[in-house]
Structure 1
Amino acid sequence: MRGPLTLPRLKELSERALPILEKHFPELLQDQTFLAEPSDNYHGLVIQCDCPPDDRAGFTKCDCQWHPLAGTPMIGGMSGYEELEWDEETAHEALAKNLEWINRAAFMTEAEWIEVLAMAGMTPDDHAKRMAWLDGEIASLDTPTPTAAGLADGGGR
């Protein structure tokens, strides 16, 4: 993801993410997919907006900080154990947060995979390092990847 995240950019990323989720990661879809309605749905992201501050402390109290634009693809469903609650997120949020824990779908092309990672702000090396850390192959995410380490000292080519 390049540049600051704005509501129009979030809508665009979600529109791109939903078909990818439906095709390659249907298990990540909750009970429903739907389009956001004005001031009725919520996202969990930090959004940059140009709304003027409303108070002396300089805080903006606009809906940009909580509500996606109307028509933004959303995923929602009931979650919880004892007390079920409605949980919703944009399609982009669902894809981006789950890429930290899942591998590439078996039938996904390399070009699709790179596009998906770019939407989430990751590179293939970032993702490979995270998967190695989850599998216990490296002790820390701060450990240099073999590619990065080889290039840093001039080797690996």
Structure 2
Amino acid sequence: MNLRILKKLSARAAPLLPLLGDRRDQFPAERDDACIGIVIRQRKNFERVRSVHAEVYGDSIKVPARDGKGGWINLSPPGHARKGTIMVGGMDGGEQPEWNERSAWEALCEIVHWGFVDINHVTLEITPTRELKTPSQVLAAARDMIAEGPAW
């Protein structure tokens, strides 16, 4: 998945969230402001930073700079959604609430995945009851949950 596809899937997921009981605020992401929890693996979307140090931090990838000036280019997966991606967010926490946000697609995936699992309360084993590997399967499952009503 890349940031462009995340933006399109979030636009498709946004109208389904209120029907599934998600009452958080929906808003379009601002540039470099909205955090996402999905790891984007396509290198064309990676953030690039020049450095003279050879150390690698976190999920970064180090490559030598090709422009002849020396140094290194650190590539790291993006932590922010594209401008205009539909996000959902709200205040979470009790005594010291904090702002929590994610893309609408991530929120829909979480609701749908937890809607189609069986939990064995003795062994705490979680067993999926429906295959949810592709976006079309997740969207179809969300529509099925909406059609069933509030029983989920």
TM-score (norm 2): 0.59
**What RMSD over aligned residues (CA atoms) do the two structures have, in Å?**
3.1
- Tell me what 1:71 maps to: 84
Percent identical residues: 31
Query: Which residue, out of 5, 14, 18, partners 1:9?
Result: 5
Structure (1/2) with the larger helix percentage: 1
Query: Which residue, out of 21, 40, 44, partners 1:47?
Result: 40
- Tell me what 1:155 maps to: none
User: What letter matches 1:37 in structure 2?
Assistant: E
Structure 1 residue runs of 5 or longer lacking an equivalent are: 103-126, 146-157
Structure 2 residue runs of 5 or longer lacking an equivalent are: 63-73, 131-152
Q: Greater relative contact order (Cα 8 A, min sep 6): structure 1 or 2? A: 2
Q: How many residues align?
A: 109
Tell me the secondary structure at the aligned position of residue 38 of structure 2.
coil
Q: Distance in 2 between matches of 1:52 and 1:43?
A: 14
User: What letter matches 2:93 in structure 1?
Assistant: G
CA separation of 1:38 and 1:139: change in aligned 2, threshold 3 A: closer
CA separation of 1:21 and 1:66: change in aligned 2, threshold 3 A: same
2:32 pairs with 1:19: no
- Tell me what 1:29 maps to: 23
Shift of 1:141: 4.7
Shift of 1:53: 6.3
2:85 pairs with 1:92: no
User: What letter matches 1:95 in structure 2?
Assistant: L
CA separation of 1:16 and 1:80: change in aligned 2, threshold 3 A: same
Q: Distance in 1 between matches of 2:3 and 2:17?
A: 20
Shift of 1:28: 1.6
Q: Distance in 2 between matches of 1:40 and 1:144?
A: 36
Q: Distance in 2 between matches of 1:65 and 1:144?
A: 32
